A and B are shown apart, each in its own frame.
Chain A
Amino acid sequence: MSPADLDQMQTYRRELDDVARKSGALVTGVADAEAFTAAMEGQRPTELLPGCKTVFVLGGAQPRAGDWKSPSYRHMETTSTSDRLTAMGNRIAQHIERRCGYYAVTVPPGVDRARRPFLNIALAAELAGCGSPSLAGPVLHPEHGFMYYTAVLTTLPLAADGPLKQPACPAPECVSMWNEAGTTPCMATCPIDEGGCLGGKLEDGRIKERRYDVARCTTRVHTSFIPGFQKALEAVFDEPAKEKRKMILYSSQFTRTLWSMSYSNVSQGQCFECMRVCPVGSKQRDLR
């Protein structure tokens, strides 16, 4: 690439960061499309966009500090979705195609027919230096902690940022707690050996092992979503008594699930308990 081309790419990057920030993104980063070597087959950038060179990642749309304080988990169940970030990604994709003249694809939220993500967006965020994977699962930004991410695949050959040098998880507080009590706040909240989802070990201040019960996490993250709907419908079909079937169909849980599913074009997170106790980014949530 000539010096003039490099200058042009830097200009495009500044423009994209500007569009992202004005759209409400907190962080941005660029990952090299060739760096997704650990991704499952079918989930690599070039498999979704032939000729893809880079992945532009945007993060933001965090729950508000007040949301984390609420004693009602129902509140965040309803307000926390990926749609705002996806809209920001679409703006970036449009800018890349119209202004820069390169192909761009916003990775769709949700899952494909095989119930797999179209692209591992958490991996994209990690490779773009927007954060690092946590023991609990979500990618955490060192300053802001938990947030939503979206990714735009593009043939635009921007310079990649690469992963963070120092991971955000485990936080120093968690390392201290591990050394003292053999657990961390996220694992203490949802311990895999006591009916929860999370387990693992720290060693030398880093994550050494991780165990994660996906199926149980699904019951918590998607309690009132498509998985919950399928389970309830199965219960209805299994129930021979007409009146009992009605009790299930009209129940609060089934009704809540149907409300939730009417937003089925966006990813919904319905459990935040491991993140509620996470110290990464907690200073941003400490208000008056």
Chain B
Amino acid sequence: MGFYFVDTALYHQYKGQVLAMSQAIQINYPEHLPPERRQPGFSDRQIAEKLGIEERVVREIRCVAEREFYPIDEWEAALEFKDRACKGFAAGGVAFSTKKYIDRAKADKAAKAPGSP
């Protein structure tokens, strides 16, 4: 092959660490959060330094792992989600999404009220 791609054994060895260190699932990632709470992802160079491998290896592992993360079924689910949410909003507004949470909160409140069974 005329272009670089990552060795599969290396990929499987480091995939989990690279995903975790790059914050593939972002928890408190945004820049505006206070520094003490913020958890920014590491850059490919920083991850490479920590794992003792080349930066381009990290880059390829991250790119492949991010794409592999969800199976193709999730793409089909995305179409269904968007269709349902969009049509729901057109028919019922914001309440289409929020009603069940508000109803649940009201039910919880009623159950905790004095005198409730």
Contacts and interface: CB of A to CB of B under 8 A. Distances in A.
A230 interface: yes
Contact of B82 (A115, A167, A207, A273): A273
A220 B81 contact: yes
A40 interface: yes
A53 to B, nearest CB: 20
A68 B23 CA distance: 32
B72 A211 contact: no
Contact of B86 (A114, A182, A213, A273): A273
Given A73-B82, A182-B105, A231-B72, A219 B31 contact: no
Interface of chain A: mostly helix, strand, loop or mixed: mixed
B41 A40 contact: yes
B66 A210 contact: no
Contacts of B86: 70-73, 273, 276
B66 A181 contact: no
Nearest to B104: A181
Nearest to B32: A133
B110 interface: no
B77 interface: yes
A22 B83 CA distance: 36
Nearest to B65: A215
Interface of chain B: mostly helix, strand, loop or mixed: helix
Given A120-B31, A223-B79, A235-B72, A40 B43 contact: yes
Contacts of B74: 216, 219
Interface residues of A, number: 60
A253 B79 contact: yes
A223 B70 CA distance: 12
B78 A181 contact: no
B6 interface: no
B53 interface: no
Contacts of B63: 114-115
A69 B81 CA distance: 17
B51 interface: no
Interface string B59-83: 1001100110110101111110111
B89 interface: yes
B94 A185 contact: yes
A219 B75 contact: yes
6 contacts: A38-B31, A39-B31, A211-B25, A212-B25, A215-B70, A220-B78
Interface of B: 24-33, 37-38, 40-41, 43-46, 59, 62-63, 66-67, 69-70, 72, 74-79, 81-83, 85-87, 89-91, 94, 97-98, 100-102, 104-105
